[in-house]
Amino acid sequence: MSFKNNHKTVLNKVFLIFICAALISAPACSSAPSLQKYSAAFTDVFDTVTEFTAYCDSQSKFDTVSAELHAELLRLHKLYDIYNEYGGTVNLAYLNRVCGEGPVEVGEEILSLLKEGVSWYRLTNGRMNIFAGSVLSLWHECRENGEGIPTEEELFEASKHVSCESVVIDGKTVHFTDKELKIDAGALAKGHAYHSVSLLLRDLGVTDYLLNLGGNVTAEGNKPDGKWKIGVQDPDGNGLYTTVKASGVSVVTSGDYQRYYEYDGQKYHHIIDLDTLYPAAAYRSVTVICRNSWDADALSTALFLLSVEEGERLLKQYEAEALWIKADGVAVRSEGFSKYE
Amino acid sequence: MSKPVLRNIILIVSVLAVSALLFIVFYGGRSAGRSFEITVNGRMYGTYALDKDITVDVDGLCTVSVKDGAVSVIDSACSGKDCVHHKPISMSGERIVCLPNGVVIRVTGDGVDAVI
Amino acid sequence: MKKTKKIALCGVMCALAFAFSYIEFLIPFDMIGIPGIKPGFANLVIMAALYTLGLPYAAAVSAFRILLSWLIFGNFTSFLYSLAGGVLSLLLMFVLKKYKVFDEVGVSVSGAVVHNAAQLCVSALLTSGAVLYYMPVLLVAGVVFGVINGLLLKPVIKRTEKLFL
């Protein structure tokens, strides 16, 4: 073997090592500081567990965002709370107490929630009704106690005070002409709360995050390895029924397994059908995917209360997709639902 | 080999075979999970990531801790403490159950970010 | 054996069965991170009663142990599990012994396996099936401790008979 040849081999080796080093270091130098996944869970807002997951460049950045988010969620929780008043704030509990007496001036957020409630009432002929607090509170009380069911008389009496015609919105004031009428905005509050939260997060510069307000998930942006994956529970508790890939949409499930109590061997869940005044029985769960978070929230409850055909008409109107799991376990998908699966 | 001993062996082998079969049914085809969920009396309490070390207080019933991608119960208000003695779980579908408290902790897999 | 002698022996066995339950309660036997697994030496005493005194006395020992554990450790769900496991395993062991299907080891293994399976089925009923995944582990544990207890059973019976008969 000549000297020349030997020299060449060494050079080849050096060259090879150089190429390898360049290949390894290039992506590291060119890409932005890598994003880390962080998550936080709050248990003190909207009577459910709220999870916030985001990709941030540092723990301290995430903690700041998460603290501001938590403060905003607490504010919204108080605003839409129908059980407690917080001295001074005009919240739903306050309105429920005083709106029967005369017109009350309300803030922008509550005003838009109430107007939304009126339009859903008209759209669904009163099936989806945020002014049915008188009926819902009877069930809420039993659920809190974990026993008993409201009597037929109580329910029938309460059902006389749920008409949206008794709600007079005039400019910035609200007045209930029916003193017994109560608001229960459970079907709309989380969607509306999310709207305020999304503005806050945008201002804070968070673009890729997932917020789960107890069954009400909004996915913005992407994970580094693709879209967010959201599991839809099997209503019988056998793991996941399906998974939905989401980016820039809200995915909301209304299910009979989310809030319920058992009494006398019977399960009573939280979505009340105002025709029967009992928990709606047609479906185990309804999952809605929609660009707009408050439409998604409202649609999931509305679809739970309507027939599949009526629901499909609403979905077309709102450009949304849905998955119904019927009481007999049969699943129905709207035309475009499977493209998210 | 005497008859009783042969029968014992048949018994033991068949029970072990049934165990192996059940083991495959319950644990087969699992991948490492990336999140876990806690339910209290069948109700969803929360879903948490497994890739970050955290501690969760489950309504004062028990304390759940994530360490090195595995979740375990580090304290519990129950009498038997079986849940505390359970080894940490990390595989998709694995569970820790605390019967007296009605708490079930289950690892969910396939990179699911939230469960609704 | 005289009836008084039998009753006295039964009393001793009740005390012994409960003592084993108590020791197993005090010392957690969860080896290699597997909880809820116990050697079940109380079952050894119950089997000894079954072989030396017969089914009624063995049933008395088992019932006494289960009731006393409930009263002293005060856990109603555990009581339900023990009851299901105790009744089913004793009946099965009695049948297997009577018709000479198995020797002591086989009877012991069958009893331990059925005891564990019945307990888990009751807890599955109470928790909508969430714990059934634990079945294979408990079955294997039943085989292991069933064999150990079965091997111990022969000398135990011999000595009991020598001492009391």
Which percentage of chain A shows pLDDT scores above 70?
A: 87
Q: Where are the beta strands (DSSP E) in chain A?
A: 36-45, 48-56, 104-105, 167-170, 173-176, 209-213, 216-220, 228-233, 240-246, 249-255, 260-263, 266-269, 272-273, 278-279, 283-290, 321-326, 331-333
What distance in Å separates the CA atoms of residue A204 and residue A283, rounded to the nearest whole number?
Answer: 39
Q: Which one is predicted more confidently, A51 or A286?
A: A286
Contact assessment for residue C30 and residue C36, using Cβ atoms and an 8 Å cutoff: yes
Strands A283-290 and A249-255: antiparallel
**Length of chain C as a residue count:** 165
What would the DSSP string read from start to end of chain B?
--HHHHHHHHHHHHHHHHHHHHHHHHHTT--B-SEEEEEETTEEEEEEESSS--EEEETTTEEEEEETTEEEEEEESSSS-HHHHSPPB-BTT-EEEETTTTEEEEEE-TT--EE-
Q: From chain B, pick out residues whose CB is under 8 angstroms from the CB of A229.
A: 110-113
Q: What is the pLDDT of residue B31?
A: 46
Find the mean pLDDT for residues A249-261. 89
Contact assessment for residue A289 and residue A250, using Cβ atoms and an 8 Å cutoff: yes
The beta-carbon neighbor of B11 closest among C32, C73, C106 is C106
> How far from the centroid of its chain's Cα atoms is residue A195's Cα?
10
Q: What is the pLDDT of residue A136?
A: 93
Q: From chain B, pick out residues whose CB is under 8 angstroms from the CB of C120.
A: none
Q: What is the pLDDT of residue A147?
A: 85
Q: Which one is predicted more confidently, A25 or A71?
A: A71
H-helix or E-strand spanning residue A59:
helix A59-79
Residue A258: which residues within 8 A CB-CB, separation 6 or more?
A214, A215, A269, A270, B43, B44
What distance in Å separates the CA atoms of residue A26 and residue C114, rounded to the nearest whole number?
Answer: 63
Chain B 30-89, residues with CB within 8 Å of chain A CB atoms = 42-49, 51-52, 56
The beta-carbon neighbor of C139 closest among B4, B15, B99 is B15
What would the DSSP string read from start to end of A111-149?
HHHHHHHHHHHHHTTTSS-TTBHHHHHHHHHHHHHT---
> ∠ CA(A266), CA(A270), CA(A272), 5° rounding?
95
Q: What is the pLDDT of residue B112?
A: 74
Residues B26-62: tens digit of each pLDDT: 765 444 456 788 877 656 677 787 877 888 888 888 9
Q: Which one is predicted more confidently, B44 or A285?
A: A285
Residue A32 pLDDT > 70: no
- Closest residue in chain C to residue B18, using alpha carbons only: C136
Find the mean pLDDT for residues C109-134. 81
Q: What is the pLDDT of residue C127?
A: 58
Strand partners, B44: B39
Q: What is the pLDDT of residue B41?
A: 66
Which percentage of chain C shows pLDDT scores above 90?
A: 55
Q: Which residue has the tokens 């009573």?
A: A268
Q: pLDDT class for B94, splitting at 50, 70, 90?
A: low
Contact assessment for residue A174 and residue A197, using Cβ atoms and an 8 Å cutoff: no
User: A38, B52: Cβ pair inside 8 Å?
Assistant: yes
Which residue type, as a one-letter code, is found at position B87? K
Distance from CA of B25 to the nearest CA of C (A): 9
Chain A neighbours (≥3 Cβ pairs under 8 A) are B
Contact assessment for residue A33 and residue A57, using Cβ atoms and an 8 Å cutoff: yes
Three-state DSSP state, A40: strand
Give me chain B's average pLDDT, please: 80
Q: pLDDT class for B103, splitting at 50, 70, 90?
A: confident
The alpha carbon dihedral of C69, C73, C75, C81 has a sign of negative
Torsion angle of C-alpha atoms B29, B31, B33, B37, degrees rounded to 10: 0
Residues A201-242: tens digit of each pLDDT: 999 888 889 998 878 899 998 887 778 888 888 887 666 788
For chain C, list the domains and their CATH numbers: 3-164 (1.10.1760.20)
Chain C within 8 Å of B46 (Cβ-Cβ)? no
Range in A33-42, A223-232, A263-272 with the lowest mean pLDDT: A33-42
The ipTM estimated for the assembled molecules is 0.86
Q: What is the pLDDT of residue A5?
A: 53
Domain limits, chain A: 1-31
User: B15, C143: Cβ pair inside 8 Å?
Assistant: yes
Q: What is the pLDDT of residue A10?
A: 54
What distance in Å separates the CA atoms of residue B83 and residue A224, rounded to the nearest whole number?
Answer: 35
Residue C120 pLDDT > 80: yes
User: A231, B115: Cβ pair inside 8 Å?
Assistant: yes
> ∠ CA(C75), CA(C76), CA(C81), 5° rounding?
100
**Length of chain A as a residue count:** 341
Find the mean pLDDT for residues A108-136. 93
Please report the number of interchain residue pairs, chain A to chain B, with beta-carbon separation below 8 angstroms.
71
Give me chain A's average pLDDT, please: 85
Residues A152-176: tens digit of each pLDDT: 999 999 999 999 999 999 999 999 9
Q: What is the pLDDT of residue B43?
A: 60
Q: pLDDT class for A200, splitting at 50, 70, 90?
A: very high
Q: What is the pLDDT of residue B35?
A: 79
